[in-house]
């Protein structure tokens, strides 16, 4: 099944920090469990090797006209060759081979290939990681209330620990806040405007997390550490939404996209891909910087085939079967 999606998905990741955290934390926990396997069974190792071959064949038939994604695909295809060479040199015969392979990939492979490898490492270990699916939901009402009793000093400490990355962004330059997010009147969908050449800045949505964190830090500079957050917000209610986010940070280490989402160089397609990847989307094919075409359920069996294939064995096509699968394209 083919489909296309645009900017509408991007704000979801920013508006649901607890949910995003739980998604990513489940994935990172799964990876940690697999990397901790001391000696894989022959069946687990064989399944991994088989999936690597199938994914490599699948990558050869993945194409995109978008220059950035096209280059990423070419790098992925080359990195598969490097991965095969590494495996041929015996890395899988070591103790903790998955950890060794992951560390090797961090230093040798592109980000595209590193993410592909993580997916492949998880495939043989449903019995270790499937329970994490139950942790991917979030009761976001639990994090909605602002803790007004917290001291300003404690809030500053969270900012220093969890938002140190914001200091690297210079918001005094025009490029750093060139864009703004708004909702279109016609379709009620998210859009991106040019702050210095288009009208509508007054309708800006609160999605510029890094800039708002920077403004909060500036507002806190003159505040006594013993002052409560409640007192601070009575004087500065415009910071309430970002204080709520900051208070989530100690318990939600993956809640924030650590980038400036109003910079002129922003590529919204990366946000779209992040969310869609958790839904099982594949073959990302950006049609511009703001919308992307994808495949869903690639190689999934038809109803009459369900009794003939393994339920967990169709995410990558079998070798030699790419041309045998039916294609259903919906524009």
φ and ψ of 179, to 5 deg: -110, 160
Domain boundaries, the chain: 19-137, 143-251
**pTM exceeds 0.75:** yes
**pLDDT cut 70: percent of the chain above it:** 94
**What is the arithmetic mean of pLDDT over 24-43?**
97
pLDDT of residue 174: 94
> Which residues contact residue 31 at a Cβ distance below 8 angstroms, ignoring those fewer than 6 apart?
102, 118, 121, 122
pLDDT of residue 4: 55
**What is the arithmetic mean of pLDDT over 262-266?**
92
Distance, CA of 177 to CA of 194 (rounded, Å): 9
pLDDT of residue 331: 28
* pLDDT tens digits, one per residue of 122-139: 999 999 999 999 999 999
Size (the chain), residues = 331
pLDDT grade, residue 242 (50/70/90)? very high
Q: Are 291 and 269 in contact (CB under 8 A)?
A: yes
β 292-295/2-5 pair status: antiparallel
pLDDT of residue 3: 56
**What is the arithmetic mean of pLDDT over 298-321?**
75
Beta bridge partners, 59, equal: none
Q: Which DSSP symbol is given to 222?
A: T
For the chain, how far is it from start to end, CA to CA, in angstroms?
Answer: 10
- Residue identified by tokens 């595209």 is 112
> Which residues contact residue 5 at a Cβ distance below 8 angstroms, ignoring those fewer than 6 apart?
272, 276, 291, 292, 294
Res 296 pLDDT > 80: yes
Q: Are 139 and 29 in contact (CB under 8 A)?
A: no
Of 192, 175, 159, 171, which Cα lies nearest the Cα of 10?
192
pLDDT of residue 188: 82
pLDDT of residue 299: 77
pLDDT of residue 125: 96
Q: Which two tokens stand for residue 86?
A: 């590494």
Res 53 pLDDT > 80: yes
Q: Please list the alpha-helical segments (H only) found in 1-110.
A: 10-15, 17-35, 42-60, 67-88, 97-108
Distance, CA of 121 to CA of 96 (rounded, Å): 12
Q: Are 21 and 314 in contact (CB under 8 A)?
A: no
Res 157 pLDDT > 80: yes
């Amino acid at each position: 099944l083919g489909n296309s999606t645009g900017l509408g998905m991007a704000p979801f990741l920013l508006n649901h920090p607890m949910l995003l955290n739980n998604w990513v934390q489940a994935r990172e926990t799964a990876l940690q469990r697999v990397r901790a396997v001391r000696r894989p069974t022959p069946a687990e190792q064989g399944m991994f090797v088989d999936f690597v071959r199938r994914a490599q064949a699948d990558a050869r038939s993945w194409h995109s006209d978008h220059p950035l994604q096209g280059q990423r695909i070419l790098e992925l295809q080359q990195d598969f060759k490097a991965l095969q060479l590494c495996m041929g040199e015996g890395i899988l015969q070591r103790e903790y081979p998955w950890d060794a392979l992951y560390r090797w990939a961090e230093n040798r492979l592109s980000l595209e290939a590193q993410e592909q490898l993580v997916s492949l490492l998880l495939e043989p270990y449903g019995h270790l990681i499937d329970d994490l699916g139950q942790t991917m939901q979030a009761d976001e009402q639990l994090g909605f209330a602002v803790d007004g009793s917290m001291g300003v000093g404690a809030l500053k400490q969270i900012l220093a620990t969890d938002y140190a990355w914001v200091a690297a962004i210079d918001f005094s330059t025009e490029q750093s806040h060139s864009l703004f997010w708004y909702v279109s009147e016609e379709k009620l969908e998210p859009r991106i405007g040019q702050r210095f050449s288009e009208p509508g800045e007054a309708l800006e949505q609160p999605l510029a997390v890094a800039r708002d964190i920077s403004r909060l830090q500036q507002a806190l500079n003159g505040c006594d550490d013993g002052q409560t957050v409640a007192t601070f917000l009575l004087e500065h209610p415009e910071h309430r939404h970002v204080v709520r986010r900051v208070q989530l940070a100690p318990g939600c280490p993956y809640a924030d996209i650590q980038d400036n989402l109003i910079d002129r160089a922003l590529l919204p397609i990366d946000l779209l891909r992040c969310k869609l990847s958790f839904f099982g989307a594949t073959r990302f094919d950006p049609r511009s910087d703001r919308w992307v075409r994808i495949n869903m359920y690639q190689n999934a069996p038809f109803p009459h085939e369900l009794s003939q294939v393994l339920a967990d064995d169709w995410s990558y096509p079998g070798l030699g079967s790419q041309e045998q699968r039916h294609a259903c394209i919906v524009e």
